[in-house]
């Protein structure tokens, strides 16, 4: 990475930290109204953060996963719904930048150009109301039939995060051909036949705009279907998908935990009960709690940073196979532990803040509600631990065979 590229990335990450402070002023209102603060994305575009992981030769900043993790966790400290949508945007653009050949070049060019020029956002839509997440192996209910030189898409997707802010939606679906294929349709979000239903009403992460989206007779060019595989065969996934998805989602909730940590420090250092005559930070109980929160957050930061760094090093060495072999299990571990750590940190801050922490005028209860929402992201903890178990047993068998 040359000095100009490094300088541009450093400037963007500095802008992310500054924007987080600005975004924080509207976070409570966004939560109360359950409305995504759309102006935040204009600011991200102006700071070139939407192009952070786009290759420099394609007009982006040329950043890697480690930079994306820092940007997302910074933004999450200010307004986590914005950070989650940014993370999903990075996942798709990371595929384009680091997984040559998975995205058809024509579609990749459209996505990159629209992101660079007008801040166009993209997210995926994989959950069908009757089937749940595709991570469990279900066949999509969303389908497309071929009519001449185009597809006609019909279906219903749930939990499409950032629905009203998106320019593009990557939709999982099945073709209604003689020999059906399962794959992905790139859908312009403003196309005729697309209807957003405001169904998102949840405990936390209320501003993510994770609405239902219905597709009715939506026409698409034939080339907008990609990575198609015959039904019954293993589906095509980007070979590096897992690391980006698992760690970037974790980074969102790490950022929320860090915001709770910062608020807790300010609270115990600044609040002086009349009967005590000294700040709460002078009491051993509060010192112990802060030490626990600090340990949880530092461990998460180190874990995410090291995975991002290792990923970028392996990419630079031109050895993507090693990413699957060495980092997928680490990414699963990070997803499991970082979310757990953030939940513990926000719960502890909320508990020790007492009645003040439970007040809607205080941010502690919102931080805790938001991290509890992490449980909704697939794969859940049970699936992650099952995968780690399989890896452990496979290593054990390999070690025995080598004895």
Question: Based on the domain organization, do 369 and 284 belong to the same domain?
Answer: yes
pLDDT higher than 90, residue 269: yes
Q: How confident is the model at residue 229 (pLDDT cuts 50, 70, 90)?
A: very high
Structure confidence by residue, pLDDT tens digits, 297-321:
999 999 999 999 999 999 999 877 7
The pLDDT of residue 31:
97
Q: Does residue 160 form part of some domain?
A: yes
- Pick from 92-101, 281-290, 386-395 the range whose average pLDDT is largest: 281-290
Lowest mean pLDDT among 11-20, 70-79, 110-119, 138-147: 138-147
58: which 2 tokens? 């394609």
Asked which of 61, 94, 121 is the last residue of a domain, the reply is 121
The pLDDT of residue 325:
82
Question: Based on the domain organization, do 56 and 173 belong to the same domain?
Answer: no
Question: Based on the domain organization, do 156 and 180 belong to the same domain?
Answer: yes
Asked which of 121, 150, 172 is the last residue of a domain, the reply is 121
Structure confidence by residue, pLDDT tens digits, 325-360:
889 999 999 999 999 999 999 999 999 998 888 888
Q: What is the CATH number of the domain that holds 222?
A: 2.40.110.10
| 190: three-class secondary structure by DSSP | coil
The pLDDT of residue 109:
97
- Interval 92-102 mean pLDDT: 90
The residue range of the domain holding 179 is 134-230
Enumerate the H helices of 210-283 as residue ranges: 241-270
Query: Is the separation of the CB atoms in 182 and 172 below 8 Å?
Result: yes
- 128: phi then psi, degrees, rounded to nearest 5: -95, 140
Lowest mean pLDDT among 8-12, 200-204, 233-237, 290-294: 233-237
pLDDT higher than 90, residue 274: no
- CA-wise closest residue to 334 among 368, 363, 311: 311
Domain count, the chain: 3
The pLDDT of residue 232:
86
Question: Based on the domain organization, do 19 and 105 belong to the same domain?
Answer: yes
Determine the Cα–Cα distance for residues 190 and 192; give it in Å rounded to an integer: 7
On average, the pLDDT of the chain sits at 94
Q: What is the CATH number of the domain that holds 305?
A: 1.20.140.10
pLDDT higher than 80, residue 137: no
pLDDT higher than 80, residue 156: yes
Question: Based on the domain organization, do 328 and 385 belong to the same domain?
Answer: yes
Distances (CA, A) of 349 to 261, 277, 331, 343: 7, 22, 27, 10
Q: How confident is the model at residue 401 (pLDDT cuts 50, 70, 90)?
A: confident
| 274: three-class secondary structure by DSSP | coil
Q: Does residue 236 form part of some domain?
A: no
Asked which of 209, 230, 251 is the last residue of a domain, the reply is 230
Question: Based on the domain organization, do 56 and 204 belong to the same domain?
Answer: no
User: Cα–chain-centroid distance for residue 340?
Assistant: 16
pLDDT higher than 70, residue 226: yes
Q: Does residue 235 form part of some domain?
A: no
Q: What is the CATH number of the domain that holds 112?
A: 1.10.540.10
Q: What is the pTM for the complete model shown?
A: 0.95
Question: Based on the domain organization, do 138 and 104 belong to the same domain?
Answer: no
Question: Based on the domain organization, do 22 and 116 belong to the same domain?
Answer: yes
């Amino acid at each position: 990475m040359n000095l100009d590229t490094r300088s541009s990335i450093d400037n963007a990450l500095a802008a992310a930290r500054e924007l987080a402070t600005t975004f924080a002023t509207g976070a409570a209102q966004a939560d109360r109204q359950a409305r995504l603060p759309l102006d935040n994305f204009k600011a991200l575009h102006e700071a070139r953060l939407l192009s952070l992981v786009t290759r420099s030769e394609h007009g982006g900043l040329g950043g890697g996963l480690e930079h994306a993790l820092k940007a997302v966790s910074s933004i999450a400290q200010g307004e986590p719904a914005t950070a989650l949508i940014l993370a999903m945007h990075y996942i798709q653009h990371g595929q384009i930048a680091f997984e040559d050949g998975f995205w058809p070049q024509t579609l990749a060019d459209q996505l990159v150009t629209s992101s660079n020029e007008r801040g166009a956002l993209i997210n995926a839509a994989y959950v069908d109301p009757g089937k749940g997440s595709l991570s469990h192996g279900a066949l999509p209910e969303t389908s497309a039939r071929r009519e001449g030189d185009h597809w006609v898409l019909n279906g219903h997707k749930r939990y499409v995060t950032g629905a009203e802010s998106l320019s593009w939606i990557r939709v999982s679906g099945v073709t209604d051909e003689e020999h059906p294929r399962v794959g992905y349709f790139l859908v312009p979000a403003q196309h005729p036949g697309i209807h957003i239903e405001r169904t998102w009403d949840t405990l936390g992460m209320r501003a993510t705009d994770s609405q239902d989206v219905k597709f009715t007779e939506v026409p698409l060019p034939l080339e907008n279907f990609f990575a198609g595989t015959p039904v019954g065969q293993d589906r095509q996934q980007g070979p590096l998908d897992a690391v980006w998805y698992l760690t970037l989602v974790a980074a969102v909730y790490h950022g929320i935990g860090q915001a709770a940590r910062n608020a807790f420090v300010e609270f115990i250092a600044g609040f002086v009960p009349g009967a005590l005559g000294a700040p709460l930070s002078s009491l051993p109980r509060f010192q112990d709690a802060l030490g626990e929160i600090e340990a949880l957050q530092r461990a998460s930061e180190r874990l995410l940073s090291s995975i991002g760094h290792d990923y970028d090093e392996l990419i630079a060495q031109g050895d993507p196979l090693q990413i699957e072999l060495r980092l997928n299990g680490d990414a699963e571990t990070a997803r499991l532990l970082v979310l757990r750590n953030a939940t513990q940190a926000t719960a502890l801050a909320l508990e020790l803040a007492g009645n003040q922490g439970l007040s809607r005028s205080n941010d502690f209860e919102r931080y805790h509600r938001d991290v509890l929402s992490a449980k909704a992201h697939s794969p859940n903890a049970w699936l992650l631990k099952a995968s780690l178990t399989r890896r452990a047993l496979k290593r054990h068998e390999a070690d025995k065979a080598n004895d």
